[in-house]
Chain A
């Protein structure tokens, strides 16, 4: 067990920090400190390309696909420096952290060579077509259908809560390809270009006032037969593997950004005197502890061991609920530190400062990627071996 970094790793840190510093105080200075997921999309698209050009976009990937074969320590370091530099949220988070690793795991050589480099270069942005009006937690209930027509798949149906679809080039769609099938059987994992007449994207306004997610309609949408990941009927396994990435350390970079959020809360508390309130001090200390432990929890997962008893990787199942709950509490702490001032925006548009927005936005963290309740079911069943939840319909 060793937490310190080697001189080579520290050299890597210096290199990453210097590059980020140069970009974000030079050509991309306007993006520094942006935390909104929808702000400045064109500039952030340019930023994705810049990252890709300099091969900082997907450093953990193999070099052949535009990565750097970076070690886990280097990935941690880059995520830390990215946050420290105040770099903006990745517009292609879903491509880089979810689609990419899933294509690496399930794609044919042809698919990897065709689909991965444009993600690494920041040229093709992705979004996630899982949820539907009647398939949320119960994802296996999807009704969107797809069938073969000549050299294409044709897709018919509706997805909902599709984050960032308005900026994306591709969407991965979990669709039913065996007519009459139910539940996890008969599903396929299709990769569909968004810019075509059969796909319509309509933004949905959220409690923040902003519209990050959308309804996505498929009305005779088409994609080439080659754009299926895994075999027809194997969609559930692929979809679950992707969720494994989503609930695991994919959010490392995002969590490193949480440091900036907690620092902002601490600054606000010192500025308005809340830092003298013993109860606020307790909550800030709790937040600090939780933040540090996200880092060490991630390091444990990345190190492959569990730093403790089990050694079966079950600990990783606790990660999503841990960071989601932590951030929601941070949002509550933030607004309590601000007091009424936090409930008042400064423009005519509905919208608030960073910490008030955090209070609102963090309600979503415990919902997307599997709600806290679903995470508890998963932990109870997969890690602790307790009986599975009964279904009300297909048994």
Chain B
């Protein structure tokens, strides 16, 4: 038992943190936001090809590095710290669904291209599959407008849909760093996965941990930036960070963040080790991290005053991503309700 990073994990953390700090700057994120695709294509290329971040947790036979959820969480945390505009989450969902539930042929065909970043993946729930064709509308597909390949969990099966087979419409999304799209599939041809249930379970679990790690990084960034501001900003002849009302809020943010850090790495580690409490851990991480991020981002705006309410300041980037991290793949209340069931509240007294 050792609940701290190995040397290799610490090195990965170091590398990805400086990578995102240098590359995923506020200017570049904002440029990506302007396109309505919320995608920094150049950043994606270097993340996928130079650093191999997209294929990190993919088995080596499929062009990945064979690492696990801990390393993936390290990457998601670092990306979240910079609110990077990248389809990391959406691609991870498609990749994990394919690894867990795709046929050998589907895995061989798609995974190497997804790992290299050549193709972008995403995941959506909705529609109806009938005779190898997908009907209906699939809402809330993250980074859908830039995705090439979708895993769709529909009534009647879980299937692969390629971008040109359906109409994909970008949505005006509150969080422009991970915008949603809508898919209208009017009888598009799809390929069923071999084991849809397993695919969805695996993908969503990975997604919960990835979102929790993103939220952890974002919350930490909110705290760090607000602490810096509280040390600089002077009112009533003193730094606002000397007012106890402000110190205590910042302290509360740190308390929540440190619990969230334990939660995220517990969930990641339990997933990698196949621990019996892995499912509970993933729900716990997603629920707590979402609450923590919203708490910290809300405080970031409040403690910055008027400047925190401007478009120009980055506070709203965090605030909006926090909201999106909370609602995507299940709200904190939904995850806690799952935990309530897992601890046996419905069993006989």
Contacts and interface: CB of A to CB of B under 8 A. Distances in A.
Contacts of B247: 376-377, 380-381, 384, 386
Interface string A307-325: 1110000010010011000
B3 A285 contact: no
Given A289-B284, A385-B227, A307 B5 contact: yes
Contact residues of A: prevailing secondary structure: helix
Interface string A81-110: 000000000000000000000000000000
B3 A3 contact: yes
B3 A379 contact: no
Interface stretch (A126-134, A142-150, A175-183, A291-299): A291-299
Contacts of A271: 349
B231 A385 contact: yes
A2 B2 CA distance: 5
B259 A293 contact: yes
A293 B288 contact: yes
Given A3-B270, A281-B340, A292-B284, A300 B1 contact: no
A281 B336 contact: yes
Contact residues of B: prevailing secondary structure: helix
Contacts of A379: 251, 254-255
A306 interface: yes
B82 interface: no
Interface residues of A, number: 57
B1 A306 contact: no
Nearest to B262: A296
A296 B343 contact: no
Nearest to A274: B345
Contact of B263 (A72, A293, A305): A293
Contacts of B246: 386
B223 to A, nearest CB: 8
Contacts of B254: 318, 379, 383-384
B70 interface: yes
Contacts of A2: 1-3, 269, 273
A76 B1 contact: yes
A304 interface: yes
B36 interface: no
Given A281-B337, A309-B220, A386-B250, A304 B4 contact: yes
B70 A297 contact: no
B227 A1 contact: no
B340 to A, nearest CB: 4
B339 A3 contact: no
B5 A285 contact: no
Nearest to B248: A376
Contact of B244 (A302, A318, A377): A377
Contacts of B252: 376
A273 B294 CA distance: 32
A305 B1 contact: no
Contacts of A380: 241, 247-248, 250-251
Given A380-B247, A385-B227, A1 B269 contact: yes
A275 B340 CA distance: 9
B265 A282 contact: no
Contacts of A285: 287, 336-337, 339-340, 343
Interface in B236-277: 238-239, 241-242, 244, 246-248, 250-252, 254-255, 258-259, 261-263, 265-266, 269-270, 273, 275, 277
Contacts of A288: 280, 284, 339, 343
Contact of B2 (A303, A318, A386): A303
Contacts of B263: 289, 292-293, 296
Interface string A1-26: 11111100100000000000000000
A267 B1 CA distance: 31
B3 A386 contact: no
Given A4-B273, A285-B336, A292-B266, A386 B4 contact: no
Contact of B4 (A293, A303, A373): A303
Interface in B207-248: 216, 220, 223, 227, 230-231, 238-239, 241-242, 244, 246-248
Interface of B: 1-6, 9, 13, 70, 77, 216, 220, 223, 227, 230-231, 238-239, 241-242, 244, 246-248, 250-252, 254-255, 258-259, 261-263, 265-266, 269-270, 273, 275, 277, 280-281, 284, 287-288, 333, 336-337, 339-340, 343-349
24 contacts: A2-B269, A2-B273, A6-B1, A275-B345, A281-B337, A281-B340, A285-B340, A285-B343, A288-B284, A292-B284, A296-B263, A296-B266, A299-B3, A300-B4, A303-B1, A305-B4, A307-B3, A307-B261, A321-B251, A373-B248, A377-B248, A380-B247, A380-B250, A389-B244
4 shortest interchain CB distances as A-B pairs: A305-B4, A285-B336, A380-B247, A387-B242
